[in-house]
Amino acid sequence: MTFDHLHLDTPTAGVAVLTFDHGKANEMGTPQLRELELLPAWLHNNGIVCLITRSTKRSSKGTPIFVAGANVTERVGWSDDEVKAHVRYQRATLQQLRRAAVFHVVLVEGVCLGWGTEYLLVGDYRLATDGASFALPETGLGILPGAGGTGELWSQVGVPQALRLGMTGERISAAEAVRIGLVQERFESGEQGMERAMALASLVARKSPTALAAFKDAVLDSVGVGEGQRSENEAVAYERCVDTGEAAIGRAHFAQIRKGEVPPWGPRQGGEG
């Protein structure tokens, strides 16, 4: 499994860094989507428990860019049916990445528009630098945010803020993104943001891969369902940890864990995506 359009690095065991750095402004098109489609399986096969997404792209004037939007120029000459099928494909690809059994930290530095803002919804925890900005300009182009910005954004920021962003196209700052819940933390620089992302990753990397996968599945499966189903989801996830032997490993090495040591967790079971 090779990646020609996305840049992947594994700085430490169990941690992967996905870096966007392509085209003029990290515009997302078919080549990048094809590789994002492969990413969940790559993460699973390589024992990754924490994924960090960032960008190193700069404009010709040195302005940082996370993602400036989808690659609409590739759609010139496409039929309406081809456009509709492509947007369904990108939506399904991001939904699959959302369910990957990793703790996904997204760090935004600079311009984050359209598809870039929607990509935040794939992350489990979002960081931004003070200079970051976010917007959904799609309705001004005769379309709407089709990769989660319409169906999912409201669940993160609330209906009024989702309608504000999608219907006005207003660009907001990192401070405002934190205020409304689109982003959880902000930092003065990308270096500080990466330090925080790696600190979170180091904590995740110490945990049972099976327990991590079970926890994330149970949390996401419990969104929008009744209390009884939420309780059952939790029970099934807990029992997965017991049945796979991870709970026994934790009990047997409890003293070592309290000292900060990492026990010999088994391979991840479940969460293949």
The tens place of each residue's pLDDT in the chain, 273 residues long, gives 679 999 999 999 999 999 999 999 999 999 999 999 999 999 999 999 999 999 999 999 999 999 999 998 999 999 999 999 999 999 999 999 999 999 999 999 999 999 999 999 999 999 999 999 999 999 999 999 999 999 999 999 999 999 999 999 999 999 999 999 999 999 999 999 999 999 999 999 999 999 999 999 999 999 999 999 999 999 999 999 999 999 999 999 999 999 999 999 999 988 765
Structure tokens at 225: 């369902």
| Helices (H), ranges, 8-140 | 30-45, 80-98, 115-119
One-letter amino acid of 15: V
Return d(Cα 128, Cα 132) in angstroms, integer: 6
pLDDT at 272: 66
Give the whole-angstrom CA distance, residue 204 versus residue 242: 20
Work out the angle at residue 63's Cα, subtended by the Cα atoms of residues 59 and 66, and round it to the nearest 5 degrees: 80
**pTM of the complete model:** 0.96
